[in-house]
Amino acid sequence: MNAATVAQTAHDVVRNYDARSASRDEILGAWFDAGLSWVHYPDDLGGLGVPRGLQAVADGILEQAGIPSSKTLNPIGYGMAAPTVREHAQSHELARAWLRPLATAEQIWCQLFSEPGAGSDLAGLATSAVRDGDEWVVNGQKVWTTLAHIASWALLLARTDPDVPKHKGLTYFVVDMRAPGVETRPLRQMTGQAEFNEVYLTDVRIPDAHRLGPVGAGWRVAMTTLMNERTSIGASGSRRGEGTIGDAVALWAQRPDLRTPVLRDRLTDLWLRSEAQRLSSDRGRAAATVSGPGPEGAIAKLVGAELNQQVYEFCMDMLGPEGILYGDFAMRDVGAEDTNRGSYVQQSFLRSRANTIEGGTSEVLRNILGERILGLPGDLRADSGQSWREVPRG
């Protein structure tokens, strides 16, 4: 199957389901059934078994039809949960049962990884999972959980063995966010939005069938999630001028009264760097079609996060005193389509502060690049060889 065949399949779906009359669930369900949600997945898991690079062909046709994609409506589900479920679910049937409503955005997903005492040191987490027959009983607290307030399912990393080194005592689960004992509390951000949450897990029961990967292999499964997360967050638009740089160019076009030669030079530099980032993202996506996302995804995430901040700093500098004018600080929940970018420049500037923290801090990513790509010596780790229980914690 080639690009022309993928395009024909996509056009057929769009023709059969008019965006003005059919529901979004119907259209995205047909999109999944036609194999267009993730074209590189197996036939009955929302794919066609063709190279990942052909996804852009299908996505472009969906966008032209004015239909929002799963990538926008369910970002954590699409970019992080789906590849993890596809690779590690215990059965093909269960993977399909999760992936179709994920692809239609009927079921939003979130990611229960970070904890108050284990943010950048994810492997140091303390949330426990204790086996009880065919179930696991989970207790702990997670934080900075995007979209937990509207999620149906969550990816959960928990400690199942405290008597081995921290990376080896982890197991990975899918947890029902509506299960008894799951409590979600919104965290207000400086944008006024409550996109992040803290989640409390009290005697939450998870069937063993919802375990992803073997017991004790949670860190390996988590790497599937994290590498896809970094690739997803770091990916820029597939077309020239898309993404955050588009906001800066639009502001430049709208406000000729604010233009100066110095600002023009800054915008030109940001444009060139954004274009380099876009082409690097394309190359990373192409490489992932062969072997899946690797540590190179850390490059896209690191560069993209810092570039986003610099783009919105440019916008604020261009606005001058107008930049301090902010619409509404009232606390409000947000939907999946509102995450990561604001509705106007000031909000986007404030939201971009999180870019260098979420999905791995820039400091952690530089360590990954130094150790795994450049082959530099690793950091000294005081807890090396110790069991998790032996490591002092504040």
DSSP secondary structure string for all residues of 294-348: -TTHHHHHHHHHHHHHHHHHHHHHHHGGGGG--S----EE--GGGSSS-SSHHHH
pLDDT of residue 360 exceeding 90, the answer is no
Query: Which residues in 324-363 are b (16+ Cβ under 10 Å) and which e?
Result: eeeeeeeeeebebebbbebeebbbbbbbbebbbbbbbebe
- Answer yes or no: are the C-beta atoms of 160 and 222 closer than 8 Å: no
- The pLDDT value recorded for residue 269 is 98
Q: Could you write out the DSSP letters of every residue in 247-283?
A: HHHHHHHH-GGG--HHHHHHHHHHHHHHHHHHHHHHH
218 against 1, higher pLDDT: 218
CA dist., res. 355 & res. 205, Å (int)? 33
Burial of 64 (0-12, 13-18, 19+ CB in 10 A): exposed
Residues of the chain within CATH 1.20.140.10 domain(s) are 222-373
Exactly one of 229, 275, 306, 371 is catalytic; name it: 229
Identify the pLDDT of residue 321. Answer: 94
Q: What was the pLDDT predicted at 392?
A: 83
Span(s) in the chain for CATH 2.40.110.10: 109-216
pLDDT, mean over the chain: 89
Q: Where in the chain is the domain with CATH 1.10.540?
A: 3-103
Q: Does the pLDDT value for residue 341 go beyond 60? A: no
19 pLDDT tier (thresholds 50, 70, 90) = low
Q: What percentage of residues in the chain have a pLDDT greater than 70?
A: 89
Answer whether residue 291 shows pLDDT above 80. no
41 alpha carbon, distance to own chain's centre: 18
Residue 294 has pLDDT above 70, yes or no: no
Tell me the pLDDT band of 361, cut-offs 50, 70 and 90: confident
In degrees, to the nearest 5, what angle opens at C-alpha 76 toward C-alphas 75 and 77?
A: 90
Whole-number Å distance between alpha carbons of 339 and 356: 15
**What are the two backbone dihedrals, phi and then psi, of residue 6, each rounded to the nearest 5 degrees?**
-60, -45
CATH of domain 3-103: 1.10.540
pLDDT at 97: 97
Q: Which residue has the tokens 């999946």?
A: 336
CATH number of 109-216: 2.40.110.10
Q: Which of 182-186, 297-301, 336-340 has the lowest mean pLDDT?
A: 336-340
Closest CA to 59 of 50, 51, 68: 68
Confidence of residue 234 (pLDDT cuts 50, 70, 90): low
CB atoms near residue 213 (< 10 Å): 21
* 371 is annotated as an active-site residue: no
Is the confidence at residue 192, as pLDDT, over 80?
yes
- Answer whether residue 289 shows pLDDT above 60: no
**Spatial distance between the Cα atoms of 151 and 252, rounded to a whole number of angstroms:** 38
Give the least confident one: 23-27, 80-84, 92-96, 215-219: 23-27
Tell me which of 133-137, 146-150, 278-282 is least confident. 278-282
Give the per-residue pLDDT at 179.
Answer: 98
Just give the CATH number of 222-373. 1.20.140.10
Q: φ, ψ for residue 132 (rounded to 5)?
A: -140, 90
Predicted pLDDT at 282: 74
DSSP string, 87-111: HH-S-HHHHHHHHHHHHTTSS-EEE
Q: What is the mean pLDDT of residues 324-328?
A: 80
pLDDT of 340 > 60? The answer is: no
CA separation for the pair 196, 199 (Å, rounded): 10
